[in-house]
Amino acid sequence: MTTHPNTPAGWYADPQGTPDLLRWWDGTRWTEHTHPGRPGQAPQQPVADPAKIQRQVQQQAGVVQPGAGGGTLFTEPVLVVNQKAKLIELTNEYGVFDQQGRTLGSVVQVGQSTLKKVARFVSSLDQFMTHRLEIRDAQGQPHLVLTRPRKFVKSRVIVERPNGQLVGEIVQQNAIGKINFSIEANGQRVGAIKAENWRAWNFSIVDHTDTEIARITKTWEGLAKTMFTTADNYVLQIHRQLPDPLLSLVVATALTVDTALKQDARGFG
């Protein structure tokens, strides 16, 4: 591709000629950010503008030099969760990226019937229906399955491995005021999620000693986009290495906070 100042930012064939590789053109220059794919074909996994991702992490979420990670959903200290912007939200789809904008995985709503899609389109009744989501890695393989059974006031989320092995549950504790959730495994409380204000924009995640181990920050996308689309974007910062099942439950919380948790709080915000 021949680039010039009027070429819009985007993913294009690597100018160095590397086959099946896309490189990010930021509108003025080629960057170091690459992604597998071919020109004219959308990569199978979500891709992101690396500059936007870094702006979310550093400026909007205030994360400074979190350190290097292992390149997977469960080994990175920072996860950026960006929902695909749609004027009408009938299914939930999220891309998950590291702090540099590299794809780590995705969150996909599965098993949604036509009735649920219609309910979501015409009303908010779908919040009273069962939701099921898969957390997938960059190769599309599921690692966690989350089920939020139908609820009336308080909700809970069941977290399982793809083989059905139970990891734990996320259980809503209250319905008025600052929304809080208990993180439970093997019948024991291993942590909690605490909304930092009554609108539940940001969350502090603590362990069983009430020490903060992670933080979820909603990143502002601008008034027009917030008003006219359903996109919700979050940054998760994990402060230290966590053991399982707590690590899996923290990741599950962050990657599904909008569908499983935050959308429940909107009626109280």
Q: What is the pLDDT of residue 121?
A: 44
Mean pLDDT computed over 191-206 = 84
d(CA 110, CA 140): 13
Task: Determine the structural domain holding residue 32 and report its residue range.
Answer: 1-43
Same domain, 4 and 95: no
Same domain, 7 and 70: no
Same domain, 254 and 164: yes
Q: What is the pLDDT of residue 135?
A: 92
Question: Dihedrals φ, ψ of 111, to 5°?
Answer: 70, 25
Same domain, 4 and 63: no
pTM (2 d.p.):
0.74
Is residue 267 predicted with pLDDT exceeding 60? no
Closest CA to 143 of 44, 247, 34: 247
Same domain, 152 and 194: yes
Most confident of 114-128, 158-172, 254-268: 158-172
pLDDT bracket for residue 147 (50, 70, 90): very high
Task: Assign 153 to helix, strand or coil.
Answer: coil
* Mean confidence (pLDDT) of the chain: 77
Mean pLDDT computed over 61-85 = 84
Mean pLDDT computed over 156-168 = 94
Q: How far is residue 100 CA from its own chain's centroid?
A: 15
- 236-252 pLDDT, tens per residue? 999 999 999 999 999 99
Q: What is the pLDDT of residue 20?
A: 77
DSSP conformational letter for 258: I
Closest CA to 198 of 181, 219, 176: 176
Q: What is the pLDDT of residue 91?
A: 54
Same domain, 16 and 132: no
Q: What is the pLDDT of residue 46?
A: 59
202 exposed, middle or buried (CB, 10 Å; 0-12, 13-18, 19+)? middle
Same domain, 29 and 67: no
DSSP conformational letter for 84: P
Mean pLDDT computed over 49-55 = 83
Mean pLDDT computed over 178-192 = 93
**Number of domains comprising the chain:** 2
Same domain, 18 and 124: no
258 exposed, middle or buried (CB, 10 Å; 0-12, 13-18, 19+)? buried
Same domain, 211 and 87: yes
Closest CA to 106 of 24, 163, 47: 47
pLDDT bracket for residue 139 (50, 70, 90): confident
pLDDT bracket for residue 24 (50, 70, 90): confident
d(CA 108, CA 111): 10
Mean pLDDT computed over 179-205 = 88
Q: What is the pLDDT of residue 25?
A: 79
**Do 193 and 181 contact (CB within 8 A), yes or no?**
yes
Q: What is the pLDDT of residue 261?
A: 55
The domain that holds 67 is classified in CATH as: 2.40.160.200
d(CA 163, CA 208): 27
Same domain, 116 and 168: yes
d(CA 15, CA 13): 6
Same domain, 165 and 34: no
Is residue 258 predicted with pLDDT exceeding 80? no
Q: How many CB atoms lie within 10 A of CB 175?
A: 14
Same domain, 99 and 34: no
